[in-house]
Structure 1
Amino acid sequence: MARRPTVYDVAERAGVSITTVSFAFRQPGRVRAETRQAVVDAARELGYVPSGNARGLARGQTGALGLYAFDLMLSDGPAGSSDVMEEADVTEVDPRTFPLYVDEVERGFALECHEGGRTLLLASGAPHGSAVYDLAGSVDGLAIFPGTHNLDAVRSIAQSIPLVAFSTPPMDTSFSHVSVDNHAGMMRLVEHLCITHGVRDLAFVGNGALYDFRARLDGFREATAALPAGRAAGRADREGLSTTDWVAALTALIAADRLPSALVCQSDQIALVVLDMLAEHGVDVPGQVLVTGFDGILAGRLSRPTLTTVRQPFEQMGRLAARLLVVRVANPQGEPEFSVLPTRLLARESCGCHG
C-alpha cells in the first residue's frame, strides 16, 4: 500500500506552510481565496481528501454544522491533566445531575442534519474551556448551549460564522435564538396546582440563576401574586428555597414540619433530588406535599412517583436550530431570528394526578 499523503506533502505542493494548510481545511475564512484554492488543488492531486470535500473547501464551506454542549464531567485542569473520570468515580455519579435535555435536543439537530445531507460535528467541554472555539473553526454554522459560558465568547464566534444559541436572553441581536416560553409554562403549572388541586401554599425551589430559570421564577411569582389573600408562598422561612443553599433550607423545613403544600422546582433535576430528600425523611408525595419539575426529561417518567412537569419540545428545538443555521449559511447577511416555542404541561403522580 502506497504511503498516505500528509499535510507536509500538501504544503510542499501548494508552496505554503503547514499552518496555512490547516487553516484552509479547518478555518477557511482565515485564508485568502487564491491560497485556499491552491491548497485544495494540491490536496486533490495528492489524494489528501476526497474531491467532493475539496470542492466544498473551494467554496469556503465545510458542509458541516456543529453542536456544542457543556459537559460537567470535564475539568478545567491544566494541560496534560486527565479529563476522564475513573471508573470508580463514574459509578458514584447520579446521572440525573447531568443536562439530559441536551441529548434530546441533539437528536432533533442530528435528524435535521441527516435529512438535509449535512455532516454533524459534536463537541463538549468544561464550562470555561476552549473546545467551543475548536469546533467553530471546523463548521459552517454552530448551535450552542451557553448555560455556563460567558456570552462574550458566543458573540465573538458569531462574528465569524452563523450561530444559534439555545435558551439565552433575547435582547442580543448578534446571533439567532431558540428558546421556549418558560414564563407561560410555569404560570400554567401553578394554575393547575391551584385550580385542579386547590393548593394555596406554594414555594419555588431553585436559585433562578440561568435565563430559563429566571423566566420560570418570574412566572411563578406572577401566578402566585394572583392567589387569594392568606397564601403562604412568601413566608420568610422559605426564602432560602430560592437560593443556591436551597438544600439546607428544605432540610430545615422538613425537620421543623413546616413544608408548604407544594414545592414547585425550577427544573426536573432539582425536583428529582427533592423527591429523594422527602422520601429519605418519610414525607409522602403527593400525600403530604406535591412536587413539580420543569423540562420533561426522561428521568421524570421513571421516578416514583412519576414527576409532574412542563415539557419542552426538545426535538423541535434541535431541528429549528439546524434550519436557522442552514438559512444563514446560504445568506450570511440575513438577520438573526428569535424563536420561542410553546411548552406542554404533563400532569403525573407527584401532584396527585394519574397521567
Structure 2
Amino acid sequence: MASRATVYDVAERAGVSIATVSHTFRQPQKVRPETRELVLEAARVLGYVPSGSARGLAKGRSQALGLYAFDMFLPSDLNAPPASLDALVRRELDGPADARRFPLYVDEIQRGFELEARRMGRTVMLGSGASRDALGSIDLAGSVDGLAIFPGGAERDLLEYVGRGVPVVIFSSPPMDDTLHHITVANEAAVRELVDHLVGRHGHRSVVFLGELAAPDIGARFRAFQAALGAHGLPVPEEPFDTTTLTADSLRSLREAIASGRVPDALVCATDQLALAVLDVLARHGLRVPEDVAVTGFDGILAGRLSRPTLTTVRQPFASMGRLAVRILIDTAAGVEHPRSYVLPTRLVIGASCGCG
C-alpha cells in the first residue's frame, strides 16, 4: 500500500489546525459544519483516514482487521422501543427463540471472518451505521490494517474513498471497475438451477420474482431469473412482481394478488428472510405452501431449515466468504496481489416449500 496521507496534509489543504482535523473525525460536534465539510473534502482528495490504534505500533500495523455493516439490521430490531436492562433480559428469557433474527447471513459471514482472523493471529474490530454514515466507516478504517464491508445502501464513492487508505473487501458485490476487492457467489447459475427445478420438475408456468433491486447481488439474481424464464419460453417480466422491503407495509403486491385471487404458481424470493415473511403472509390468508403456491428463497440461513414447510433455497458458503476476506486483507496489506473479484459456488437445497418431500 502507498504511504498514507497524514493529519498534517489534511490540515494544510483545508487551511485549519491539526486539532480541528482531529476533532472532525473524533468529536465532530465540536466543529462548525462548514469547517467540518472543508476537512472532509480535503480528506477525500488526499485519501486520508485517521490513524487510530495503528499510531505508534511497529511498522504502522495495528494487527487488527475491521468488519463494517451498513443498514444490515432488521427494521423490527431498529424500531424496537427503548427498554431497561431488566426488561430486555426478561424479554429475551421469556420470549421464544427466534431464528429469523439470528443467525442471519451477516452473522454467518462474521463467524467465518472471526475464525480466520484468530487463526492468523489478528483481532477483529466491528462497526455499523447508516448508509451515509461516512465518519463511522472512515474512523474504523483508520484503526485497522484492512476492512471488510457489507455495503447495504452505501454510496460507491464512499467505499472507494475508504479503499484509498486501507485494503477493502466488499461482500455480496459483483466484479466492478474499481480498486476494491469483491466477494460474491454464482448468482446467475444458482437462480437458473432454481427456475429449472420449478418449471422442469414441478411444471409451474406462472413464476414471479420478489425482491428489491437496490443491492447488486439482488439485481444479478433478477436478471438471471429473466433469462431463465426466457429460456423456458415463458413471459419475461420487466420488473419484479413485488419490489418489497421488510417493513410493516411489506408485500403489498402479493397481498393485492391474494385479495384478487390471482396468486402466481411459484414465488421466487430474493432472500430467505423475505421468503419467510412471504410464508407468514400466505398462512394468514389461508393459502397453503406448497399445495396452493410454491415459495423459494436464497441464502440458506438456519431459519429456513427450521420453518414449516422447510424452505427450498440456494445455500451460500458464508463462512468461506468471511475466511477469504481475511486472507485477502492480510495479503494485500503485505503487498501480495489478489484477484479483484472472487465468485464462489452455491448449492441448491431442496426443502418442502417447492412441493418436494
Q: CA deviation at 1:127?
A: 2.7
Say if 1:74 and 1:125, in contact at 8 Å, map to a contact too. no
Give CA deviations for 1:154-202 in whole Å, capped at 9, x if unaligned.
Answer: 1011101111111224123211111111111111100111121121210
Match of 1:109 in 2: 113
Give CA deviations for 1:221-271 in whole Å, capped at 9, x if unaligned.
Answer: 00011224xx4664x9x9652466871111111111111110111111111
Match of 1:184 in 2: 189
Say if 1:175 and 1:336, in contact at 8 Å, map to a contact too. no
Match of 2:155 in 1: 150
Match of 2:261 in 1: 257
Matched, 1:170 2:175: yes
Compute the TM-score of the two structures, normalised by the length of structure 1: 0.76
Distance 2:157 2:103 in 1: 22
Say if 2:51 and 2:142, in contact at 8 Å, map to a contact too. no
Match of 1:132 in 2: 137
Distance 2:138 2:301 in 1: 29
Q: 1:287 to 1:263 in 2, by over 3 A?
A: same
Say if 2:71 and 2:152, in contact at 8 Å, map to a contact too. no
Give CA deviations for 1:28-51 in whole Å, capped at 9, x if unaligned.
Answer: 4xxxxxxxxxxx4xxxxxxxxxxx
Where 1:349 maps in the other structure, the secondary structure is coil
Q: CA deviation at 1:304?
A: 1.0
Distance 1:104 1:274 in 2: 23
Match of 1:241 in 2: 242
Distance 1:350 1:287 in 2: 9
Equivalent residues, number: 299
Match of 2:61 in 1: 61
Distance 1:336 1:133 in 2: 24
Percent of aligned positions that are identical:
49
Distance 1:142 1:162 in 2: 6
Say if 2:99 and 2:302, in contact at 8 Å, map to a contact too. no
Which ranges of structure 2 fall in alignment gaps of 5 or more residues?
Answer: 1-17, 27-49
Q: 1:26 aligns with which of 42, 47, 53?
A: 53
Match of 1:344 in 2: 347
Q: Trace 1:327-338 onto structure 2 (pairs within 5 A).
A: 327-331=331-335, 334=337, 337-338=340-341
Which ranges of structure 1 fall in alignment gaps of 5 or more residues?
Answer: 1-15, 29-39, 41-56, 76-81
Q: Trace 1:73-88 onto structure 2 (pairs within 5 A).
A: 85-86=82-83
Match of 2:32 in 1: none
Q: 1:209 to 1:24 in 2, by over 3 A?
A: closer
Kindly provide the amino acid, as one letter, of the partner of residue 60 in structure 1: G
Distance 2:103 2:172 in 1: 13
Distance 1:96 1:221 in 2: 29
Say if 1:74 and 1:84, in contact at 8 Å, map to a contact too. no
Q: CA deviation at 1:73?
A: 5.3
Kindly provide the amino acid, as one letter, of the partner of residue 241 in structure 1: D
Matched, 1:353 2:356: yes
Q: CA deviation at 1:65?
A: 0.9
Match of 1:278 in 2: 282
Say if 2:296 and 2:353, in contact at 8 Å, map to a contact too. yes
Distance 2:59 2:299 in 1: 40
Task: Calculate the aligned-residue CA RMSD, in Å.
Answer: 3.2
Distance 1:162 1:323 in 2: 11
Distance 2:210 2:278 in 1: 9
Distance 1:320 1:73 in 2: 23
Compute the TM-score of the two structures, normalised by the length of structure 2: 0.75
